[in-house]
Amino acid sequence: MQALLWACSASKAMPKSPYEGGKQRKHFTLSETAFAHLSSIAASAGLSRSETLERIIRSTADWEGAALFSDDAWPFSIDFCSSDETVPVD
């Protein structure tokens, strides 16, 4: 039992963050489908899920996020988690 408690409380050493202020643990929720897609993107890029989210967020301008993720715009977005959706090709 004591070994189990130690294993649960031990934290992994995180590499030094290249970002000002470093990184801190945060909590949020995702659907299983979105988590699987995030995992796939991260694996394809050779990154952790945390770093993948960091880069997605940092590469999205406020105006772009508002335009893409608002409730009015979301129905017109492509859901890449859906297996029947493909990227349109001109």
What is residue 90's predicted lDDT score, i.e. its pLDDT?
Answer: 52
Reduced 3-state DSSP string for the chain: CHHHHHHHHCCCCCCCCCCCCCCCCCCCCCCHHHHHHHHHHHHHHCCCHHHHHHHHHHCCCHHHHHHHHCCCCHHHCCCCCCCCCCCCCC
What is residue 27's predicted lDDT score, i.e. its pLDDT?
Answer: 92
What is residue 43's predicted lDDT score, i.e. its pLDDT?
Answer: 96
What is residue 46's predicted lDDT score, i.e. its pLDDT?
Answer: 96
Enumerate residue ranges in the chain where pLDDT < 50.
Answer: 1-11
